[in-house]
Structure 1
Amino acid sequence: MKKTSNKIVLIGAGAVGTSFMYSAINQGIASDYVLIDAFPQAAEGNALDLADTIAVLPNPFTSIKAGDYSDCADADVIVITAGLPQKEGETRLDMVAANAVIMKTIALEVKKSGFKGISIIASNPVDVLTLIYQEVTGFDQHKVIGSGTTLDSSRLRRLLAEKLSVGPESVDAFLAGEHGDSSVAVWSHASVMGQPISKYIADKKITQAELDKIRDEAVNMAYKIISLKRATFYGIGVCLTRIVKAVLRNERATLMVGAKLNGEYGNKDLFTGVPAIIGENGWSSIIEWDLNDFEQAQFNKSCETLSTSITKAREAIK
């Protein structure tokens, strides 16, 4: 019989974590939720606040509470959003040393708990910290998933849809590589209802320069939001819910997550945003697109940028 009851543990009850939790309970993806935070009162307060929804939700959950790392032992999924937030004028990679230390502490506690499920990381810089978590825990790489460029690609789809005057659900467009400034727009595999984007924009008399501007706007969206309201959290909260749902429901969905490269796309030994198949055992495989020469060069450059930050992170946690 298919399992219908699931337990999710959230580590980091800040704005991103609670936005994920609010999205998850509204979509009814699990029955039991636990919040863990370095400040226990924050976890308890958010758990009580979220519990107030149970009487009116169309898909009510069974329980939600503040807990500790012992609650990870029987969890199906752990979502980690803990870490110092990105400040105005700061890149995600600027945060690497301090947040690597925090991630190491979390990883050791999760490992000690006996957790056997799927770990999903959203703490920034997410590509680097996903690798640090996987290396510290020693968990199977397929059971560790970074949020990757799920959010970045969602932004790209929205902005492109607005430009083309179509619904975002009709647009397939992707940012790959770093969740950050060096991410790559894979225009060679973008389409509108199956029609290649190159053909679609030719009919609409839209130039490549205009596409490149949309890419830049998507990549810089976080900076814009942070300057306006200090933090981004709703978009990533929903994207995390999408990934977790694919795991809990064994959807075998293809999402732009942070998966570990082992030679795919000519790179290895790092997690970064690529199309991967997501199901109950984590990510099962990476889909390798044929990138054009420009896209491959940009992807390689993005991986080089991450490798430099990985070195800094490893130094910080020695």
Structure 2
Amino acid sequence: MASKSTKGSSKKPVFANDLQPVKIAVIGAGNVGASTAYALLLSGLAAEIVMIDLNQAKAEGEVMDLNHAAPFTHQTKITCGNYEDCAGAAIVIITAGANQKPGQTRLDLLRINAKIIEDIVPKVTQNAPSTILLIASNPVDVLTYHSWKLSGFPQDRVIGSGTVLDTGRLRYILGQRLDTLWGEHGDSELPVWSRANISGIPLAEFYQTTTGDDVQQIMQESFHETKNAAYEIINRKGMTDFGISAGLVRIVEAILRDENTLMTVSMAGTYAGVQDIALSMPKKVNRTGAHHVIDIKLAPEETKALEKSAHTIKSSLDSLNQ
């Protein structure tokens, strides 16, 4: 279903060892970038955070504000920089791009944000050839693949935030622990109900034996609320930023702590028989990036939904290449 990385995967990124500080660059000083930098500051994961934005005054303002929070959190060095300051960064997080507006899908943003990525990625890779790229700009799966092609990096070292946030939303909505959401971070994503469980008990069995509730209705309503969560938030506050910034920092943590944690991040590969795309599937995340581990058997209807999601991504990439 998914292919293992083959391009240069033996080359490990240069990481700070235990005696050296960890540096992280955040490109984009908008709501997501600023919230991510703030979440990083609170986490204490980075000794140095560099913020980069085309609007330097905005980046400077965010850095000033963050530095005023530092005395209450961690002694993290926070600076406003340029692409040369990506040198030595363990991870470069790209959040730059146009915001999703009410009524607009993530795929509507494709052409605008692809141009932005085309400007950013070569500058980053030139100055930080051994970094890990973490992409959050939407549509994240398409732009993850686009960033990988632009970077020349091995697949392992270009990671999209994927459906990590969606998985968190679904867990919150259900109020229990579920396994995952796979596919596109967008309208074609799919819930893998066949693998969902609560404390090891299959979800359907749990509800049937403990509540007698209509399991299918609960699943349908929970997924509908999850898939439309971003639109509901955007309609109310104009953007989403807290959830995705927390998700990005969780990915950063898994990388820096070499956790080998399974996370539904996006990475270039072959999925559901569709080649040359990036899609969110469970990947092992550690200090060298994201790695395919195992193909999990899906129910027939889930396999069809995954194929549909893969073809949606492929169509978007084809339209971008045209």
Q: If the length of structure 1 is used for normalisation, what is the TM-score?
A: 0.93
| Cα offset, 1:289, TM superposition | 1.2
User: Residues 36-55 of structure 1: matches in 2 within 5 Å?
Assistant: 36-55=52-71
Contact kept? 2:41, 2:76, Cα under 8 Å: no
CA distance in 2 between counterparts of 1:61 and 1:301 reads 47
The separation in 2 between residues aligned to 1:182 and 1:105, in whole angstroms, is: 28
CA distance in 2, matches of 1:221, 1:212: 14
The alpha-carbon distance between structure 1 residues 24 and 287, as it changes in their structure 2 partners (threshold 3 A), is: farther
Equivalent in 255, 277, 298 of residue 247 of structure 1? 255
CA contact (8 A) 1:96 1:312 kept: no
Counterparts of 2:292 and 2:312, CA distance in 1:
24
Structure-2 separation of matches of 1:23 and 1:139: 27
Of 282, 293, 313 in structure 1, the residue corresponding to residue 300 of structure 2 is: 293
In 1, Cα distance between equivalents of 2:30 and 2:52: 10
Which residue number corresponds to residue 227 of structure 1? Answer: 235
Q: Equivalents in 2 of 1:3, 1:227: separation in Å?
A: 46
Given that 1:32 and 1:62 are in contact with CA atoms closer than 8 Å, whether structure 2 keeps it comes out as yes
* Per-residue CA distance 1:224-256 (angstroms, 9 max, x = gap): 000011100000000000001111111111111
Q: Find the aligned partners of 2:246 and 2:96 in 1 and give their Cα distance.
A: 17
Gaps of 5+ in 2: 1-16
C-alpha distance in structure 1 between counterparts of 2:226 and 2:27, whole Å: 27
Task: Answer yes or no: is the 8 Å Cα contact 2:44–2:76 preserved in 1.
Answer: no
| C-alpha contact (below 8 Å) 1:75/1:115 kept by paired residues | no
Distance 1:237 1:284 in 2: 22
Which residue identity does 2:181 align to in structure 1? L
Look up the match of 2:41: 25
Query: In the alignment, what sits opposite 2:274?
Result: 267
Relative distance call for 1:314 and 1:61 in structure 2 (3 A) is farther
Match of 1:111 in 2: 125
Amino acid at match of 1:90: Q
Post-superposition CA distance 1:156-198 (Å, at most 9, x none):
111111xxxxxx4xx0232110000110000011111111112
CA separation in 2, counterparts of 1:34 and 1:222? Answer: 28
The corresponding residue for 2:184 is 178
Looking at structure 2, the residues matched to 212 and 106 of structure 1 have their Cα atoms a distance apart, in angstroms, of 39
Q: Hey, what's the Cα distance between the residues in 1 that align with 2:254 and 2:19?
A: 14
Quote the Cα distance in structure 2 between the aligned partners of 1:291 and 1:31. 42
Q: Which moved more, 1:108-117 or 1:138-147?
A: 108-117
Deviations 1:249-268, CA, capped at 9 Å, x for gaps: 11111111012223x54333
Match of 1:100 in 2: 114
Query: Which region of structure 1 is more displaced relative to structure 2, 284-293 or 18-27?
Result: 284-293
Q: Give how far 1:112 is off.
A: 2.0
Which amino acid counterpart does residue 13 of structure 1 have in structure 2? A
**Could you tell me which residue of structure 1 aligns to residue 320 of structure 2?**
313
The number of equivalent residue pairs is 304
Partner Cα separation in structure 1 for residue 103 and residue 309 of structure 2:
20
What corresponds to 1:165 in structure 2? none
Deviation for aligned residue 1:4: 5.7
Do residues 66 (structure 1) and 84 (structure 2) align? Answer: no
Supply the AA of the counterpart residue of 1:223.
Y
Check 1:196–1:4 CA distance in 2 against 1; reply closer, same or farther (3 A cut): farther
Give the one of 23, 27, 47 matched to 1:7.
23
The normalised TM-score by structure 2 is 0.91
Task: Determine helix, strand or coil for the equivalent of 2:71.
Answer: coil
Structure 2 contact 262–285 (Cα < 8 Å) conserved: yes
TM-superposed deviation, 1:313: 2.2
- Specify the alignment match of 1:164 in structure 2: none
Summarize deviations over 1:58-93 as a string: whole Å, max 9, x none: xx1331000000011210000000000000000000
Q: CA RMSD in A?
A: 1.3
Pairwise CA distance, 1:141: 0.8
The ranges of structure 1 where at least 4 consecutive aligned residues each deviate by more than 3 angstroms after the TM superposition are 1-4, 264-267
Which structure 1 segments of 5+ residues have no match?
162-167
